[in-house]
Amino acid sequence: MKVFKKLTRIAEEKGGGYFVLIDPDTRKNDELKEFIKEICNRGVDAILVGGSLIIDGDFQSSLNLVKEASTVPIIIFPGSLQQLSPNADAILYISLISGRNPNYLFGDHVIAAPLIRKMGIEPISTGYMLFESGGTTTAEFISNTKPLPINKPEIAMAHALAAQYMGMNTVYLEAGSGADHSVPTKIVKAVSSYIDIPVITGGGIKTPDDARSKVEAGTTFVVTGNVLDDPENFELIDEFIRAIHFKEFS
């Protein structure tokens, strides 16, 4: 069975699926390996690797390290065409549908498609929707697009439905990495109940309660990144898992 289908089934069984995002700038070498082993042992469902802007990190070597240490699927979350690797299991094949930048709607995709085919990794067609979140996020700045308003759920719903009608596998509701505020739960609920394809929600999720509210609102997957970078927060991982896999723990 294909990676995304499998993950969707797991999420349905557990209540929700939990993805942890690894930004190659943040963790290096041994520390990264240990972190990956630990989060896999604790029950994360998949690992995303990538970033809108990588400054000091090395995407390829980070991905290879993650691959060596991981027991769960590795999905590339590409910030650019440089972030491709045959060592991943799948890639979020992202169209930035909240924006109108042609390169991110159907431009880089043309260049990446033959490479992805050659690499033999699974493309997960993703309608990526960036939302206002209290400040300018890297994703917003780099993509030069305007985020969706958070006080107009109907705009988000129409975008998500268009993604479904265009045959995409999923929509990703994104507040931006390190966002002040996560995508409002009412938006997650409005979109999730309006479409039939799985929803991924990420950006600015800092507490297990917030993660749980997104799952209750209907998201299929929750993504966290920054929150676990602070070693003091590491133990939160178990709480995130309990909050997201709530069916297993109820």
Q: Which residues would be at the binding site for ligand 1GP (CB under 6 A)?
A: 21, 174, 177-179, 202-205, 223-227
Minimum distance of ligand 1GP from residue 178's CB (angstroms): 5
Q: How many Å apart are CA 214 and CA 40, to the nearest integer?
A: 22
CB 214 within 8 A of CB 198: no
Indicate the residue among 64 and 233 with the shorter CB distance to ligand 1GP: 233
202 SS3 class: strand
Give the residue nearest to ligand 1GP (CB). Answer: 202
Nearer to ligand 1GP, 15 or 78 (CB): 78
For ligand 1GP, give the closer residue by CB, 10 or 222: 222
For ligand 1GP, the closer of residues 118 and 238 by Cβ is 238
Of 52, 57, 62, the C-alpha closest to 88 is 62
Judged by beta carbon, residue 125 or residue 226, the one nearer ligand 1GP is 226
Task: Please state the φ and ψ torsions of residue 104, each to the nearest 5 degrees.
Answer: -90, -10
Q: How far is the CB of 30 from ligand 1GP (least distance, A)?
A: 22
- 151 three-state secondary structure: coil
CB of 201 to ligand 1GP, least distance (A): 8
Q: CB of 210: closest distance to ligand 1GP in angstroms?
A: 10
C-alpha distances (whole Å) from 179 to each of 119, 122, 138, 153, 189 are: 33, 29, 9, 19, 19
Report in angstroms how near the CB of residue 3 gets to ligand 1GP at its nearest: 18
Picking from 53, 52, 44, 50, the residue whose alpha carbon sits closest to that of residue 24 is 50
Residues 6+ apart with CB under 8 A from 138: 51, 52, 53, 176, 177, 178
Cβ–Cβ < 8 Å for 109, 93 = yes
Select 15 or 202, whichever has its Cβ closest to ligand 1GP.
Answer: 202
Residue 21 Cβ vs ligand 1GP, minimum distance, rounded to whole Å = 5
